[in-house]
Amino acid sequence: MSALSALPERRVATWWRRRRFSVAVGVAIAVLLAGVAYLLDGVDVGADSPSSTVSVYLQALASGDATTALATGTAPADRSLLTDDVLAQQRKLAPISQIQVLGTEEGAYGAVVHVSYRVGSRRVSDHFNVTRVGGSWKMAAVAVDVEVNGGTAPPNLNVFGVSVASAEDVYLFPGAVRFGSSDPDLSFVPSTAVFTTPDVPTLITLGTALTARGKQSGTTAITDVLDACATASLAPAGCPQSAPAPAGAVAGSWQWSIVSVAAAAFTPVPRTTLRFTVTATVNWELNYQVLANGQPTPASVPVSTPVHGTLDYGTSPVTFTR
């Protein structure tokens, strides 16, 4: 299933409520509360009707015009992810298109505009809160306020390559988002999410996963630790391998060597972001000598042993503990 499939449709969200969305296939629908925000310096885009304001906002997102989108309402102080460059990446991942205004519920001081549009290949039914400011209508909020992992930032988190300074308030335009890590050993699950409705804050939980390079770093860490077990003892103390003396071997001629390490499973340690348990198979050779026609002749026997332990990616290099 695509990471951007299965977008559920929702009714108007209740104000002042945080809602947690579970992410089973890499998709999160996000909503935001218009909290403390500031007018975009020197720019003011308003319209004479709620539906016109929302249309200008969505068309700006669809065309990649971050300045106009921000100016339709209030903009948060942190606009590091509310730029043309990030918006271009969102559009590349899943563009907003086929915008339709379905209706407006208008009151004395505000209105709710119901819309339909596509994010990538999926149609979204959404709503936007709009407020009357003087003689024009303004978006109550122009960015989705996302709290990542309860406000505790995962290490090296970025959005489309832009570092996230605070995981407590990550302001994003509605649409598709890609999360990444500046650590080439790590990635996040889900790696993509879709956020809509900038009216109520949302929480999203990102799990840590290992990249192909991260798995290789773990395998290297295991090998580095077990290199100390490549000794001349048949059963090295504190090591996983042992073997009886091979038949015909010259006494004391044996020496262990590591042939390969195959890590089969990496599992994140609960409530951590940088530690993984690992199960691996270590393939050894016990090298020794036998006498053939009175002359020492090399020989070897293969031995495989399972290894279990913990990898810590918070150290450099990665460390392994059995």
How many residues appear in the chain?
A: 322
In the chain, the amino acid numbered 117 is: Y
Q: Could you tell me if 243 and 102 lie in one domain? A: no
**Structural domain count of the chain:** 2
Domain boundary among 182, 207, 232: 207
Tokens of 229: 């077990």
Q: CA 64, 65, 67: angle at the middle one, nearest 5?
A: 145
For residue 47, the model assigns a pLDDT of: 65
> Could you give the CA distance from residue 231 to residue 237 in angstroms, rounded to a whole number?
10
> Could you give the CA distance from residue 128 to residue 310 in angstroms, rounded to a whole number?
47
Q: Could you tell me if 185 and 286 lie in one domain? A: no
Q: Could you tell me if 195 and 216 lie in one domain? A: no
For residue 26, the model assigns a pLDDT of: 30
Q: Could you tell me if 97 and 36 lie in one domain? A: yes
Tokens of 148: 């990542």
Tokens of 301: 């026997």
Domain boundary among 186, 207, 228: 207
Residues 6+ apart with CB under 8 A from 83: 66
CATH number at residue 116: 3.10.450.50
Q: Could you tell me if 249 and 200 lie in one domain? A: no
For residue 215, the model assigns a pLDDT of: 96
- Asked if the structure places residue 14 within a domain, the reply is no
For residue 31, the model assigns a pLDDT of: 30
Which residue in this structure is represented by tokens 């309860």? Answer: 150
Q: Could you tell me if 26 and 132 lie in one domain? A: yes
Tokens of 83: 């730029």
Which of 42, 45, 20 has the alpha carbon at shortest distance from 31? Answer: 20
> Could you give the CA distance from residue 139 to residue 128 in angstroms, rounded to a whole number?
7
For residue 156, the model assigns a pLDDT of: 87
Q: Are 308 and 278 in contact (CB under 8 A)?
A: yes
Residue ranges of the chain with per-residue pLDDT less than 70 = 1-47
CB atoms within 10 A of CB 77: 9
For residue 108, the model assigns a pLDDT of: 78
Range of the domain at 69: 19-207
Q: Is the dihedral of CA 11, 97, 140, 131 positive or negative?
A: negative
> Could you report how far apart the first and last alpha carbons of the chain are, in Å?
37
Q: Could you tell me if 165 and 72 lie in one domain? A: yes
Average pLDDT along the chain: 85
Q: Could you tell me if 168 and 243 lie in one domain? A: no
Q: Are 121 and 127 in contact (CB under 8 A)?
A: no
DSSP annotation of 24 reads: S
